[in-house]
Amino acid sequence: MGKAFIVGAGPGDPELITVKAIKCIQTADVILYDRLVNPELLKEAKHDCHLIYCGKQPNYHTMQQETINHLLVKYTKQGKNVVRLKGGDPFVFGRGAEEVEALVENGLPVVVVPGITAGVAAPAYAGIPITHRELGSSFAIVTGHKPKGKPSDINWKSLATAVDTLAIYMGVTNLPYICEELMKHGKKEDTPVAIIQQGTTMAQRTVTGTLSSIVDLVEKEGIQNPAIIIVGEVVTFRDRISLLEAGGKAESYATMA
């Protein structure tokens, strides 16, 4: 009997993958990988490794989840080491739990290898701490997208007041709705917001504004998915660092990153 590994590939920068995840890739007989996995990581695979693309885009899935589950079970039953390679962390909006369940239901061994998730890594690369002793001591990771249109079943009322910082995944399309809901339920119009596109990669772009201005700014700058939305006072830390750099009081954050 083989073994399946549900592996987080990290947020985009290939150097942010874990040592354990690299070892899984190097010993895999089959790798089923997602759209947001950096192609550089696949170069670590054996020359005879069977690579299967399972990428998903908004409103278009190369392969349905049921098919992915079937392939994981099929190849593991054949006695192969099977890696399901997913961007970020497999248990953060990655359907990793569904895949683990499918394997366990078939009596197959499975190992989960966590990865660095974009909601923490992307703002860090943009100079924004997800928590800060003065600016925000709590945060929530939220999906901004649901299969059937607007994320109306998300409790935006509670989220607007319960935590200091929101890290919203897959929310660019629904950004106007999200901002409207947060302001309606208690967030101030001038609450800082950052949108980070393709975080931790060479193509990373960051746009900052407020809940009342960010929609127009995102449209003007042409920001698209994949992108993370950060809502909260921690976003102002980016400006604080920029001021220090301008005064020659700190090493460039970009250099440190």
Catalytic residue among 23, 56, 77, 150: 56
Q: Active site includes 190?
A: no
Catalytic residue among 13, 86, 89, 170: 170
Q: Active site includes 1?
A: no
Q: Active site includes 89?
A: no
Contact (Cβ atoms closer than 8 angstroms) between residue 55 and residue 62? yes
Catalytic residue among 13, 34, 80, 187: 34
- At 176, is the secondary structure helix, strand, or coil? helix
Contact (Cβ atoms closer than 8 angstroms) between residue 171 and residue 118? no
**Alpha carbons 155 and 94: distance in angstroms, whole number:** 21
Q: Angle at CA 38, nearest 5°, toward 20 and 197?
A: 120
Phi-psi region of 120 (alpha: psi -120 to 50; beta: other; left: phi over 0): alpha
Specify the DSSP class assigned to residue 34: -
Would you name the residues annotated as active-site residues? 34, 56, 170
